[in-house]
Amino acid sequence: MSGREDGKGNRGWNGGRLFPMGSLLAALLCLAVSCGAGAAAPVRDVATRFAKERPSAWGMDLPGVLHRASVEDRVVALTFDACGGARRGHDDYDRRLIAFLESERIPATLFLNLRWIRAHPETARALAGNPLFEIGSHGAKHRPLSVSSRRAYGIRGTASAAEAVEEVEAGIGPIMAMTGRRPLFFRSGTAHYDDVALRILDALGCRAAGFSVNGDEGGTLPAGVVRRRLLSVRPGDIVLCHMNRPASGTAEGVRQAVPELLRRGFRFVTLEELLSLERGRSP
Ligand SMILES: [Zn+2]
């Protein structure tokens, strides 16, 4: 997500650096969805099934998007997007932020875009191998997930069911290669969806991850504002921040807010654990 991003920089779609396009397409055609919400339909069938559906709703708050959880415990889920892209700063990496989370043992869910993974392959592998972090997908080309080219913040959404499927699956592929499992959560570029795209996502076995607290407005806020936003959380909230803007106030704001939240009795959880707590069972 980011409210202040553009959709440019899509050059080299897949580019062949991690996954040659031919083999990726072959993998997509063969792949049967086997995790997540229990859906089990071959990917090509999902695109076909939704090819003629027309959307009737659009936005960040549609039913089916996970914004927060109803929990009794004082838990909060920190999520960090790594957007990627050619525009300066979008494929950068906030080492200080991640180092803080690691040193304080703060779990978080990291949403990695395919372009960011390509720009930071070794870092992405290290993060994926760290049990502190859950890895979600932030898509392939950082598009709003649409079947009719709907735009958000000037970024054109995917144009069809097939494009939406491709945006999801091409982003998920390298994450599966790193983690050995399909990510449970997907957050589109800009976090916008139409209702058909959400049903596609569900059929592909992924849950759309929204947020209830916008922690850093696309990595554009000073530390003091980030701190205040984080300190506004209630149990069950999902905080959205960014890990690709090291020049922003995000790392410092998080560093200031986390100890105070711990003093208030909050515990930090991944989205998977947050959902497990909502369901009233241990992960
Ligand atoms: Zn983003």
Q: Which amino acid is at 64?
A: G
Burial class (CB in 10 A: 0-12, 13-18, 19+), 105: exposed
Q: How far is the CA of 281 from the centre of ligand 1 (A)?
A: 31
For the chain, the structural domain boundaries read: 41-278
pLDDT at 265: 98
Q: Which residues surround ligand 1, an ion (CB under 5 A)?
A: 1-2, 81, 83
Mean pLDDT by 10 residues, the chain (283 residues): 41 32 41 43 87 97 96 96 83 96 98 96 98 98 96 95 97 97 97 98 97 97 98 98 97 98 98 94 48
For residue 90, the CA-to-ligand 1 centroid distance in Å is 8
pLDDT in tens, 126-138: 999 999 999 999 9
Cα 72 to ligand 1 centre (Å): 30
| CA–centroid distance, residue 282 to ligand 1 (Å) | 30
Gyration radius (Cα) of the chain, Å? 18
Q: 230 and 213 in contact (C-beta within 8 Å)?
A: yes
Which CATH architecture does the domain made up of 41-278 adopt?
A: Alpha-Beta Barrel (3.20)
The owner of tokens 């069950």 is: 236
58-59 vs 193-194, strand pairing mode: antiparallel
CA of 210 from ligand 1 middle (Å) equals: 12
Give the N- to C-terminal CA distance of the chain in Å, as an integer: 27
